[in-house]
Structure 1
Amino acid sequence: MADTKIEKVCVIGAGTMGAGIAAQVANAGVPVLLLDILPKDGDNRNAVAEGAVKKMLKTDPAPFMSKSAARLVETGNIEDHLDKVAECDWVVEAIIERLDIKQSLYEKLEKVRKPGTAVSSNTSTIPLAQLTDGRSDEFKQDFLITHFFNPPRYMRLIEIVAGPQSDAGTVAMVRDFVDRKMGKTVVDAEDSPGFIANRIGTFWIQQAVNAAFDQGLSVEEADEIAGRPMGVPKTGVFGLVDLVGIDLMPHLMESLTSTLPKDDPYQKIARTEPIVEAMIKEGYTGRKGLGGFYRMNKDGGKRVKEAKDLKSGEYRAAARPGIVRGPAQKDLKALISAKGKVGDYAWAILGPTLSYAASIVPEATKTVVGVDDAMKLGYNWKAGPFEMIDKIGAAHLVERLKADGLPVSSILEQVGDKSFYRVENGKRQFFGTDGEYHDVERPEGVLLLEDIKLSAEPLLKNGSAALWDVGDGVVALEFTGKMNALDEAVMKLIQQAIPLVKKDYKALVVYNEGSNFSAGANLGLAIFAMNIAAWSEVEKQVKTGQDAYKALKYAPFPVVSAPFGLALGGGCEILLHSDAIQAHAETYTGLVETGVGIIPGWGGCGEMLSRWMANPRHPKGPMPAVSKAFELISTATVAKSAHEAKEHGFLRKDDQVTMNRDRLLYDAKQRALALVDGYEAPEKPEYRLPGPAGKAALKLAVDSFRKQGKATPHDETVASELAHVLTGGDTDVTELVTEDHMLKLERESFMRLARNPKSQARVEHMLETGKPLRN
């Protein structure tokens, strides 16, 4: 079985989760068969599955990384098309959480699937042993649980449960597919109720809601304490319940209380509040309903945020309590030790939750790493429970648990005054249930900068960037500033890196492990210079960036950029200057400068022209490429995935995509090494551009948008400067425009806009609010 490849998948169940799983398979470029029951009425027997695909094409955030991926989804129904399962290598069951219905489906599947086809359930509550009860040994060998998290495209966690009879090769085949193709981090779970993340997560939410009612806190106070200071989503607990649906909570409670042992600590805290029951009954189920613990209401034509009063059950204007102050904002031990309601509430949540998390090792998963990964990836916690315990101090936690009569698990007793994680000989290690430390193992093909840093010093470093040796003659350029914003220090390090790499190394990868690749140029520095009219300093910043990116582009070695998350403005421009791009699938890139009243200043205009002029599917001649680049830049278009970035030309056709974020550096490094032999820097481009005639044509289009109310007066000013650059200034199609002339045009237009008070207002507004100003 281990050599078998998954070339087609069948998903049975076209609800939100099943359809989302099918979409992610399609995002991986793999055909998928999506089946569901017959509709209650109508002649279209495939209406349920077809409807799910149509809905996903309109959903935001989008389940599909590109609308073209939907073509890989074949729809059908269980009555007419179950025999098509024989074409598939893996069947994912994602139907209603009822054991009898699932078992009935498995009986039918056993008759139609080919030998060796993996079958898995997306259940989050029913034990594997019950699911396969009554099935043949052959079926049990190919069966496992694959518990995805919603939405499947964006949530990286998958919990896999293998049974005692599950074939190791079949499990390995599915593991490899969900890891490399679907981009998931696999956490191995035991066959216990709720598995890992939902078991701890449900306990945590229940404990937080209970304590807020018991201690008389407002929902805003509770969310301020139990949000960012704890390193959990900024929504806090009540905001999170609104997001996932208040009506989901009773179902989770019923599921866990019916499957967990009677002496499990969750059984003691499971309860509902009359106010919450009334909310569900009246349709106040959160963001998907009429509102939840929070809602947006209109007052005098303005949208006002309101919060539910937990005593009266009425809505009132939401407040910003501001009660978490000082070290408690960032220090977990200080938070649970704070005097008054802040410390009391924080401890009421964290004490029992961390105690509970420690108690389910090894019952729910064999290691503390499994628990931490599950909560970080499944619930977006910044630190897992055992990482939190290390911040507090295990001995201190045990002392407080005992003082409050809360249970202390054997692993907490075992670790004593040591920590659950340590670094030994440059390796991160975890404390095991055997009382020994073990290396944290990475899967083959996973290379992380955080691991390299444990035993290495940077080759170069300043306040905004660093250069690291990542092995095999490849170095990684890392941005390190806030939001990985780009400034003069980054450009200086690029210029320093080039001779070093040329002398001692083979290739360079642009990569980091922040929340985003780069949000673009440091606008704070730019507006400071603008406000004091230091125009020579502003122009210097533009010229320094142009020179650094140009030096990188023509360096005598391959440069591969490895973006993920946001890669905007200057962060997009460095991609455009690279020899190749190895992008994480979830890369959101674009030249967004017009949103702050300027144009791309670090070579982005010329690079986008080059991309579209070289595109074999695009019409030839100067104007089509100019029009396309103008459209993308003037509207600040951002690709919503790496696949969409190819469609917009931010990535080339042969640029590659990595689905699993943890594999990005390794893949980029391999891509760079593949370019080393016979490498030659690119030739300098020359452009034939339409000049003033082309600019006039673009101006007509902008005039039309302004008349329709789609463009503001200052949009028109910015677009005019952009058109001037893209059409080559005062030239015509008989002349050749050099790259250096394009850069000069770009600088001049950038500076004219930088001096414009309306552009300055846009930059300031973006820095203050994070939103574009429409002036």
Structure 2
Amino acid sequence: MVRKIRKAAVIGSGIMGGGIAALLAGAGVDVLLLDIVPFDLTNEEKNDPAARNRIVQAGMQAALATNPSLFYSKKDASRISTGNLDDDIEKLSECDWIVEVVVENLKIKRDLFKKVAKVRKEGTIVTSNTSGIPLKDMSQGFAQEFKEHFMGTHFFNPVRYMHLLELIPGAETKSEVMEFLARFGERNLGKGIVWAKDTPNFVGNRIGVQGIGACIKFMHEDKMTIPEVDALFGPALGRPKTAIFKTTDLVGIDTMSHVAKNSYDLCPDDEQRDTLVLPEFISTMVDKKMLGNKTRGGFYKTELTPEWKKLRKVLNIDTLEYEDLERPTFPCLDEARKKATLKEKLTCVLKGDDKGAQFAWKCQANAFQYAANRVPEIADSIVEIDNAMKWGYNFEMGPFETWDAYGVEEAVERMKNEGLDVPANVTQMLAKGKKSFYKLENGIRYYFDFSSGEYKAVPVSKNMVSIAAAKGNNKTVFQNASTSLVDIGDEVFCIEFHTKMNAINGEIVDAIDKALDYVEENGAGLVIGNEAGGMPGAFSAGADLSFVSKLCHEKKYAEIDAFLAKAQVGIQKVKYAPFPVVAAPYGMVLGGGCETCLGADRIVAHTELFMGLVEIGVGLLPAGGGCMNLWKKYMDALPGRTVKEVDLAKFFVQVFMKIAIAAVSMSAAQARDNGFLGLADRIVMNRDNLVGEAKKEVLKMVDDGYVPPLKKKLKVIGNAGQGMVNAEIFNLLNGKFMSEYDAFLARRIAYVVSGGNTGEGSEIAEEAILKLEREAFVDFCREEKTIARIDHMLKTGKPLRN
């Protein structure tokens, strides 16, 4: 029997249960979402189905109302049916996977599983999303067949956005069940799989909450402030901007306290147990319901002034009063800001001699100790711990990778000099002459395995193609400061961007042209793809605005036109290359990045796709073929004969609006609804597999006997379209969705997309629309308001509405 998940049940409709249900629905699974019948029903309500389902319906509505959305598309909600555990429990017999997400109480969970065991069909997988209760306690006394199909699946919140899925097998879980859920979680749900042991809080929270507890303890001891700690433990150390305390506000201070207490209570032999005893002010905050973002404040809060301006406040831990937030800094952070790579930044912060650097080292050394001492207690390898922290806490480097970046021997020597204990397994590793936790040989990444005392290959998905590994195996064809062309095997090459935010500049445009020539002579096809740490990341945030700004200020309009012409020629060369070109976008795909994808034969996109032509926000329009290729994408979606008969106005307004209001998709599903992805384009759940899946698409197109598209004239709406959108512009102006300058830009955008001064139904050459794009772009560059928008974006990162 081939195991499949056609229908799943989620029991518990809180924010976690709703998130799991939304994720499963987005993966194409039919979902039954169940919760309890309310205890406070009147006699009349006891016979009312709506009243009996009040709790689950409230949970469903809360999931639909979340922002950012837990759903890739609100349409996915149609796959979810709701019910209660009294009236609908028999429906569990229809399910292939049952996920329990109820309150962290052993008796409640065991009572629920007794009910589930009576109705589930043989072979159905049952998992608990517990973060602390041992699986053996939950399954004790159940039938053997139930135990063989029972395990832990610990999702992280918010479920859609957190890459980590911890899998925890029970003592008697069948290996085929474990392997199946790992495959399904990785491929269908897009998660990074970490194998954890049945220990309290598993891997991510065991390491993560101890790290938070240690930082709070040391902060108290060293008289540091909350803003100072967060300044240090942010991007300079490869951590998210939310650092320590903003992250805790997101998670909930009560949740963090519960996890810390759970570790303390259930891990009596933990050598760092004292760091899990949180200071008294944390208990006071919990008592006062100062729980973070779920309440009116936690470590931080935002207040509105009478002028409706937002003021950020931060907690004074001595007085428990909020004070104005002042952004602190330290010499080590000032130096780190000047560095390009994370390793260089880490060196500045962890090896500096100022107060901030000393504190950062104290916390990081503690993290080194704790992580090393948890192998093999909570996981069998350092890889599981590093991945858990990267995927569950959005660290760019896990603790062992950070240790490598610092220098293992150097860190150990410093720890010894400061009287800190060095974990025995690390001492033994160094005694064997092994001086790093990871190494790269012939494109293969290895990790040091404490149990065998040898290096082993880091496990990777068979669907994954690593650009970094190919580079490590000397497969780089050429590279410059902005881009690389890499051989990724089977005569397929990948062009990778590596500018800041992967912004498109002249060097990238030239490199794409060079790559196309190379692949035509030496390869079967090309992938346009990047690798980047963290989520969502940026495939490309658009054109290099600083370059455009410089040319605008210097009034070098001929150079602007020449740059655009070169970019357009490059995009057209991609479109009509004699081999398949597949773009593999993820995260931010804006402006020129979006235009690059629209020029490809096919798009293989990650589910988290924030895609749009946003140039109007900086006073410009898409002029790398974006206006033309979005219109073309809409037209190509129609059968050939239909194009002659279709009402072009319906499509023209949609294309115009996408550009005029800078519409950005909040997911790949929405990008498809917006017309940026066509029916032939694919959506991939797991970003780790994106380049590999794009490569597969290239090879499939080659196997299918790829024929490049024929260049043909485009049917346009002409003057009729320009008159039509005036009403739309008027409405947007009246609703204050658009400024007068936006309206000025929008009218010119309508002129370009419609094909210029021509009649409805006219057919014009692609080059004619491309020329209209360039002319409009250059004219906009002459406008002071456009220059102001560009400079404001460069200075603040935010659009100016002038």
TM-score clears 0.5: yes
Pick one of 444, 468, 477 that aligns with 1:427: 444
CA distance in 2, matches of 1:482, 1:702: 35
Amino acid at match of 2:233: A
What residue is the counterpart of 1:17 in the other structure?
16
CA distance in 2, matches of 1:459, 1:394: 33
Residues 355 and 409 of structure 1 are in contact (CA less than 8 Å); yes or no, is this contact kept in structure 2?
yes
What residue is the counterpart of 2:797 in the other structure?
770
CA displacement at 1:689 relative to structure 2: 2.6
What residue is the counterpart of 1:360 in the other structure?
374
Amino acid at match of 2:10: V
Pick one of 658, 661, 677 that aligns with 1:651: 677
CA displacement at 1:49 relative to structure 2: 2.2
CA distance in 2, matches of 1:331, 1:570: 30
Residues 717 and 762 of structure 2 are in contact (CA less than 8 Å); yes or no, is this contact kept in structure 1?
no
Residues 216 and 278 of structure 2 are in contact (CA less than 8 Å); yes or no, is this contact kept in structure 1?
no
Q: Residues 334 and 694 of structure 1: is their aligned pair in 2 closer, same or farther, counting only changes over 3 Å? A: closer
Among all aligned residue pairs of Structure 1 and Structure 2, give the percentage whose two residues are the same amino acid: 38
What residue is the counterpart of 2:550 in the other structure?
528
- Cα deviation, 1:216-246, whole Å, max 9, x if unaligned, reads 1111111112222322122221222222122
CA distance in 2, matches of 1:628, 1:448: 38
Higher mean alpha-carbon deviation, 72-81 vs 49-58, is at 49-58
CA distance in 1, matches of 2:120, 2:672: 37
Amino acid at match of 2:159: P
RMSD: 1.8
Number of residue pairs the alignment of both structures matches:
773
Residues 219 and 308 of structure 1 are in contact (CA less than 8 Å); yes or no, is this contact kept in structure 2?
yes
Amino acid at match of 2:622: P
- Say whether residues 1:292 and 2:292 are aligned partners: no
> Aligned ranges for residues 579-658 of structure 1 at < 5 Å?
579-616=601-638, 620-658=646-684
CA distance in 2, matches of 1:49, 1:283: 25
Q: Residues 597 and 119 of structure 1: is their aligned pair in 2 closer, same or farther, counting only changes over 3 Å? A: same
Residues 18 and 59 of structure 2 are in contact (CA less than 8 Å); yes or no, is this contact kept in structure 1?
yes
Q: Residues 426 and 655 of structure 1: is their aligned pair in 2 closer, same or farther, counting only changes over 3 Å? A: closer
CA distance in 1, matches of 2:326, 2:202: 37
Structure 2, unmatched stretches of 5+, are 338-343
What residue is the counterpart of 1:341 in the other structure?
355
CA displacement at 1:578 relative to structure 2: 1.2
Pick one of 277, 286, 297 that aligns with 2:283: 277
Residues 6 and 90 of structure 1 are in contact (CA less than 8 Å); yes or no, is this contact kept in structure 2?
yes
CA distance in 1, matches of 2:34, 2:204: 28
- Cα deviation, 1:247-287, whole Å, max 9, x if unaligned, reads 22221122112211x23134222333333333333332212
CA distance in 2, matches of 1:449, 1:212: 40
Residues 612 and 628 of structure 1 are in contact (CA less than 8 Å); yes or no, is this contact kept in structure 2?
no
TM-score of the superposed pair, with normalisation by structure 1: 0.97
SS of 2:539 mapped into structure 1: coil
> Aligned ranges for residues 457-536 of structure 1 at < 5 Å?
457-514=475-532, 515-536=537-558
- Cα deviation, 1:416-456, whole Å, max 9, x if unaligned, reads 16111112343211111121111112122121111111112
CA displacement at 1:336 relative to structure 2: 3.4
- Cα deviation, 1:579-612, whole Å, max 9, x if unaligned, reads 1111111111011111111111011111121222
- Say whether residues 1:322 and 2:321 are aligned partners: no
> Aligned ranges for residues 349-428 of structure 1 at < 5 Å?
349-416=363-430, 418-428=435-445
CA displacement at 1:684 relative to structure 2: 2.1
What residue is the counterpart of 1:448 in the other structure?
466
Pick one of 227, 233, 238 that aligns with 1:231: 238
- Say whether residues 1:558 and 2:584 are aligned partners: no
CA displacement at 1:693 relative to structure 2: 2.9
What residue is the counterpart of 1:577 in the other structure?
599
Pick one of 749, 761, 781 that aligns with 1:754: 781
Residues 25 and 31 of structure 2 are in contact (CA less than 8 Å); yes or no, is this contact kept in structure 1?
yes
Amino acid at match of 2:553: N
SS of 2:82 mapped into structure 1: strand
CA displacement at 1:331 relative to structure 2: 4.2
Residues 6 and 173 of structure 1 are in contact (CA less than 8 Å); yes or no, is this contact kept in structure 2?
no
What residue is the counterpart of 2:341 in the other structure?
none
CA distance in 2, matches of 1:337, 1:499: 46
Amino acid at match of 1:484: N
Residues 688 and 732 of structure 1 are in contact (CA less than 8 Å); yes or no, is this contact kept in structure 2?
no
What residue is the counterpart of 1:185 in the other structure?
192
Q: Residues 748 and 188 of structure 1: is their aligned pair in 2 closer, same or farther, counting only changes over 3 Å? A: same
CA displacement at 1:765 relative to structure 2: 0.9
What residue is the counterpart of 2:340 in the other structure?
none
Higher mean alpha-carbon deviation, 616-625 vs 533-542, is at 616-625
CA displacement at 1:668 relative to structure 2: 0.7
Amino acid at match of 1:544: K
> Aligned ranges for residues 191-210 of structure 1 at < 5 Å?
191-210=198-217
SS of 1:472 mapped into structure 2: coil
CA distance in 2, matches of 1:759, 1:451: 42
- Say whether residues 1:708 and 2:735 are aligned partners: yes
- Cα deviation, 1:46-104, whole Å, max 9, x if unaligned, reads 22222222222221111110111111111111111111111111111111111111111
What residue is the counterpart of 2:127 in the other structure?
120
CA displacement at 1:725 relative to structure 2: 0.8
Pick one of 533, 538, 559 that aligns with 2:560: 538
SS of 1:80 mapped into structure 2: coil
What residue is the counterpart of 1:305 in the other structure?
312
Q: Residues 324 and 286 of structure 1: is their aligned pair in 2 closer, same or farther, counting only changes over 3 Å? A: farther
CA distance in 2, matches of 1:246, 1:395: 37
CA distance in 1, matches of 2:777, 2:300: 43
Residues 224 and 324 of structure 1 are in contact (CA less than 8 Å); yes or no, is this contact kept in structure 2?
no
Higher mean alpha-carbon deviation, 732-741 vs 149-158, is at 732-741
Higher mean alpha-carbon deviation, 430-439 vs 196-205, is at 430-439
CA displacement at 1:616 relative to structure 2: 4.5
Higher mean alpha-carbon deviation, 421-430 vs 383-392, is at 421-430
CA displacement at 1:334 relative to structure 2: 4.5
CA distance in 2, matches of 1:337, 1:679: 55
Amino acid at match of 2:301: R
CA displacement at 1:746 relative to structure 2: 1.1
Amino acid at match of 1:696: G
Q: Residues 484 and 726 of structure 1: is their aligned pair in 2 closer, same or farther, counting only changes over 3 Å? A: same
Q: Residues 182 and 600 of structure 1: is their aligned pair in 2 closer, same or farther, counting only changes over 3 Å? A: same
Amino acid at match of 1:536: A
CA distance in 2, matches of 1:324, 1:289: 35
- Cα deviation, 1:722-756, whole Å, max 9, x if unaligned, reads 01112211100253221111111111111111111
What residue is the counterpart of 1:242 in the other structure?
249
What residue is the counterpart of 1:137 in the other structure?
144
TM-score of the superposed pair, with normalisation by structure 2: 0.94
Residues 313 and 322 of structure 2 are in contact (CA less than 8 Å); yes or no, is this contact kept in structure 1?
yes
CA distance in 1, matches of 2:714, 2:444: 52
Residues 118 and 174 of structure 1 are in contact (CA less than 8 Å); yes or no, is this contact kept in structure 2?
no
Residues 190 and 687 of structure 2 are in contact (CA less than 8 Å); yes or no, is this contact kept in structure 1?
yes
- Cα deviation, 1:176-220, whole Å, max 9, x if unaligned, reads 111111000111111111111100101000011111111111111
CA displacement at 1:488 relative to structure 2: 1.4
CA distance in 2, matches of 1:748, 1:163: 66
Residues 23 and 159 of structure 2 are in contact (CA less than 8 Å); yes or no, is this contact kept in structure 1?
yes
Amino acid at match of 2:744: T
Higher mean alpha-carbon deviation, 559-568 vs 678-687, is at 678-687
Residues 331 and 354 of structure 2 are in contact (CA less than 8 Å); yes or no, is this contact kept in structure 1?
no
CA displacement at 1:395 relative to structure 2: 2.6
SS of 1:429 mapped into structure 2: strand
